Amino acid sequence: MKLGVDLISDLCLSPDDSFNWEGKATSLYCLVAGNISRNLRTVLLTLTHLSKFYQGVFYTPGYLEFQGADDYNTRIENIINVCGKIPNVILLHHHVVIINGVAILGCTGGYEYESDSGLELNDIHKLVDLAYLKNSVERLQKHLDVKKILLMTNGVPGQSLYFGEVPKHYNNDLELNLGLKFDSELKITHWVYGSYNKMVDAKIGEISYTCNPYNSHKKNSYWAKRIEI
């Protein structure tokens, strides 16, 4: 049985922005690859709105959700509490869900902070995410109920997925696609991501890579990207 999912990301909403998804769902499930808002009440309202149109909304935080936070662990706890209040919403922060033989595995995979001195990176948290990807991909290889794996990260999987527009702050020693080395059974078929300002629908090797950022469209004509697995 095929699994259909709608992909959206990088809404980058402020508390004053309006967002209406009525009549736009094309699947039973929705993937939100981060960067909803730095304002957690806006994250709560947006996910609550999306949950009205889907049987399940799977969300991984983006770097935007961490901007302005004083402490990483406290912000994660706050995001967990926000998502726990909403029916049909599952936070994919170091978490896996399995539907129709497809494991959906999520993590942020990139943390960027705005500060007075400019853009800063926190490689420690990205290392933790890389370790999680490695361990989870390895564990799912022998899972009898998992036939395919979809990875969802807010971070761009690798340098090649910037298509020649690699940002100055990019650290190619911590590429998320290092986790592919542990896919011994070749179960990973799809990787969806955010944090890139253009639409991507590309196949590299046996893996389909998809990015569908809100900021690549005119806001009044943004639609989800439907993916079938």
Burial 2-40 (b: 16+ CB within 10 A, else e): ebebbbbbbbbbeeeeebebeeebebebbbbbbbbbbbb
pLDDT in tens, 150-209: 999 999 999 999 998 888 777 777 788 988 999 999 999 999 999 998 999 999 999 999
pLDDT score, position 166: 84
Q: How many CA atoms lie within 13 A of 153 on its CB side?
A: 23
Overall residue count recorded for the chain in this entry = 229
- How far apart CA 91 and CA 89 sit, in angstroms, is 7
Structure confidence at residue 220 (pLDDT): 63
Tell me what pLDDT residue 118 has.
41
Name 51's Cβ contacts closer than 8 Å, sequence gap at least 6: 57, 86, 87, 88, 89
CB count within 10 Å of CB 225 equals 18
* C-alpha 18 chain-centroid distance: 22
Q: Label the pairing between strands 118-121 and 112-115.
A: antiparallel
Which pLDDT score, from 0 to 100, does residue 175 have?
A: 86
Half-sphere exposure of 60 toward its Cβ, with a 13 Å CA cutoff?
29
The per-residue pLDDT for 116 is: 45
pTM of the model: 0.92
Dihedral (Cα; 23, 24, 27, 30), 10-degree rounding: -120
Rama region for 221: left / alpha / beta (φ>0; ψ in -120 to 50; rest): alpha
Q: What is the overall mean pLDDT for the chain?
A: 90
Q: Can you list the alpha helix ranges (DSSP code H) found in the chain?
A: 40-51, 72-84, 123-140
Which residues, 6 or more positions from 108, have their beta carbon under 8 angstroms from its beta carbon? 34, 60, 61, 62, 63, 93, 125, 129, 153, 154, 155
All residues at 6 or more sequence positions from 182 whose CB lies less than 8 Å from its CB, including other chains: 134, 137, 138, 141
Residue ranges, the chain, pLDDT below 70: 111-122, 216-220
pLDDT of residue 227: 97
